[in-house]
Amino acid sequence: MSASQPDASAPPLPQTFSPAEIEGKLYERWVERGYFTPSGKPDATPFCIVIPPPNVTGSLHVGHALDHTIQDILVRRRRMQGYDTLWLPGTDHAGIATQNVVERELAKEGLSRHDLGRERFVERVWQWKAESGGRILGQMRRLGDSVDWSRERFTMDEGLSRAVLTMFKRLYDDGLIYRAERIINWCPRCLTALSDIEVEHSEDEGELVSIRYGEGDTSIVVATTRAETMLGDTAVAVHPDDERYAHLVGREVELPLTGRRVPIIADAHVDPEFGTGAVKVTPAHDPNDFEIGRRHNLPSIEIMDEHGVITAHGPFQGLDRFEARPAVVAALRSEGRIVKEIRPYRHAVGHCQRCDTVVEPRVSLQWFVKVEPLARAASEAVRDGRITIHPPEMAKRYFSWVDNMHDWCISRQLWWGHRIPVWYGPDGQVVCVGPDEEPPSGEGWTQDPDVLDTWFSSGLWPMSTLGWPDETDDLARYYPTSVLVTGYDILFFWVARMAMFGLYGMQHRGKADSVPFREVVLHGMVRDAHGKKMSKSFGNVVDPLDWIERYGADATRFTLARGANPGSDVPVSDEWCQGARNFATKLWNAARFALMNGASTELPIPDRLSTADRWILSRLHRLIAEVDTYYDSYEFAKVCEAIQGFAWGEFCDWYVELAKTELTAGGEAADAARAVLGHVLDRLLRLLHPVMPFVTEELWLALTKGESLVIAEWPRAESDWLDDAAEAEIARLRRLVTEVRRFRADQGLRPGQRVPARLVGIERTVLAGHETAIRSLLRLDPPGEGFNRTASLLVDDVTVELDTAGVIDVAAERKRLEKDLANARKERDQAARKLANPDFLNKAPAQVVEKVRTQHATAENEIARLEAQLAALPSPR
């Protein structure tokens, strides 16, 4: 069969690759056939990943797309390797975000949640969840997530709610949950406490105000960016070693605008270099001041309510905190208390993640988890190797957080969420109720109105989704989970909480089996091609759904994976996604060529293989070993680089072209080429499937007529196929062809233009048997009568002599080369003059001098190249 003769039995592939036409149908086929459901085979090694649950309010953003792509790559490969794989999906109820969404919907109807009441409002949220929540789940299907949809979970479904109540009850009974007045992050808009991860810090413009407290010898100047909080000051603090204020420590000073007297105290927390070295202490409205207040037994005076409105008696009462700030400053100025001009000051300010309101530190009665014993266990699990963090250097950041963790505020002043299972009796009784217990009844009993922090339920995710606290089959088989994939930005907040709860909740299993996961793979943030953080204000945000629409899910996944290595930020660009689409098209065209030429997948005995066949098989098995190494070390960028380099740079650009010679010749050589074409393509598609599942599945089905690549066997590297001699021989052929192609281009010959040529000396080299292929690759005709050598090139020990007289305009080519040569000499001379100038060498920055030296060397090389080309041209007649 000739290279141009189609195989009538080959399944048809459209001439052009269209992702939209194949992706949806393939995904539904996979789901319908149950490929994503665990095999349950008792002799198969379990491999389990639980998905970091996206918010039920969310949609697929580029961070999700990266996270899900990495997880899917791991799961698809393990599935092909015969593991009993479970990738468990689900969503988080997202307390604050979801309540805000539904409240906005009510506002359109002129209602608030208080108009409905708690019970009806919660019913409305469940209704919203059923109708509009979970949009991201459909978007996960578009990306190709091979999750087991039959096990989908929600952080407020019945089973997970049971787990939450069980964990709260156990912690409470063990004295690890308590209620106390502490300072917490408070959102005056959402009217709830916030966890640290729900607070986003930004560098905001503020004003630093210097205020004089007291008079005469006892006066002291403090600097602050929040002048309004001075109404609640209960002390002024200085550093114990600050000699400037040693004579004032222990004395009292009058607080301006209030008439109250407050002590001057010494505390090591004070930074002597900040402002004046003296700071106002407001225990009720600053977390650091709260701790200073506890150390020195200072009173705590609240001066604003939950809305951020001033409550302190006096002229500022009723003002919003940001209205009160300039009003307080004006009052202080009128009394002559402002001792310096107010100056701009940029400082970190916390904002509510959900509504962007500036967070207010506030003393509040809340529920807390006593984290010290839990955090210690979570730290030990990483230190002793039961949990491995990738990359290892991230473990230091983990320890810095876990080893210094403060007690965790877990109560939220919301209506949507897991309600705290504590009841208060008419005579001060407090009863915590477990999931299998009846709450106390009777007159005067009320349940705590708060709900639990969303991170409480998501901290249970690895075990609650598998059935904990019940001893289910899934929990027995798949816990501990194998790998957790998440961004390094929530290493502290989520990973640490899961480690704490897993070790505590599963401690009956013993140390080795109580961890929630064996390995943690941390990826970085997705950035633009220049390494810049994505932001709407920068206009560089990527919408993965837009990429999927334009380039396909495979191209989107490949673009994200090609930049992903543990702990590193991931650069992406629209051009790279387009390039990934081109890569898929390249594979598509190679597969069409193979099918049209009757490619099979059964290899003949090695003795019947050509050098090119043995070369590509050797390269394939080196690739398999290399890819396995990269996969096992979670270096996804290197996986993509290795596969693309082989697929495009070796298989498509070289082997397919070399095979055309064998296919044209016919006979056993053609049969071998067909088998190698199909076999290599089959293995290549298997290797690439975890990253680009759709295009590889479509091509593999057409090539092999198999059931599905999803459940096909993962290829294995076999050393018997390695062939150093064949690799060296084809490397020499490629070097010859590459150099001659470059030389042809320099001579002004078009790529497809045929030129008479002699290959002098090839008969004495290992390339003698490849002359037909070399001539085909280089478009070289045998030398005919009247052959006139006009150009020649020596590559290794083969001289390629060309007769270009009849194929190029020598005069025009000479004119072009002479013009380029003149420009190169001009650039060289300009650089040489600078380098000969001592003033330039002595005064210019080192990088500028080095740049000029590089320009000079580049110009010299260009001159030599152009002069050689001119010399190779035929002499003018």
Q: Known binding site for ATP: residues?
A: 536
Strands (E), 633-781: 755-760, 780-781
* Of 280, 152, 265, nearest in space to 226 by CA: 280
If DSSP codes are grouped into helix, strand and coil, which group holds residue 336? coil
Cα(558)–Cα(177) distance, integer angstroms: 46
Whether residue 421 contacts residue 169, with contact meaning beta carbons closer than 8 Å, is answered with yes
Look at phi and psi of residue 863 and say left if phi exceeds 0, alpha if psi is from -120 to 50, else beta: alpha
Whether residue 425 contacts residue 456, with contact meaning beta carbons closer than 8 Å, is answered with no
**Which residues lie below 8 Å from residue 259, measured CB to CB, with a gap of 6+?**
none
Cα(846)–Cα(377) distance, integer angstroms: 53
* Of 334, 386, 610, nearest in space to 516 by CA: 386
Sign of the Cα torsion 189, 195, 201, 205 reads: positive
Helix axes 553-561, 62-80, angle to 10 degrees: 90
Q: What is the residue-wise DSSP string for 189-237?
A: TTTEEE-GGGEEEEEEEEEEEEEEESSGGG-EEEEES-GGGGGG--EEE
* Of 292, 291, 283, 270, nearest in space to 223 by CA: 270
Q: Which amino acid is at 309?
A: V
**Count of beta carbons in the 10 Å neighbourhood of residue 675:** 20
* Of 634, 679, 645, nearest in space to 71 by CA: 634
If DSSP codes are grouped into helix, strand and coil, which group holds residue 3? coil
| Owner of token pair 């560098």 | 203
**Which residues lie below 8 Å from residue 39, measured CB to CB, with a gap of 6+?**
84, 85
Whether residue 277 contacts residue 239, with contact meaning beta carbons closer than 8 Å, is answered with yes
Q: Which amino acid is at 743?
A: F
Going by the annotation, the residues of the binding site are 536
Cα(314)–Cα(310) distance, integer angstroms: 10
Whether residue 519 contacts residue 390, with contact meaning beta carbons closer than 8 Å, is answered with yes
Cα(563)–Cα(575) distance, integer angstroms: 14
Residue 21 structure tokens:
């036409």
Radius of gyration of the chain (CA): 36
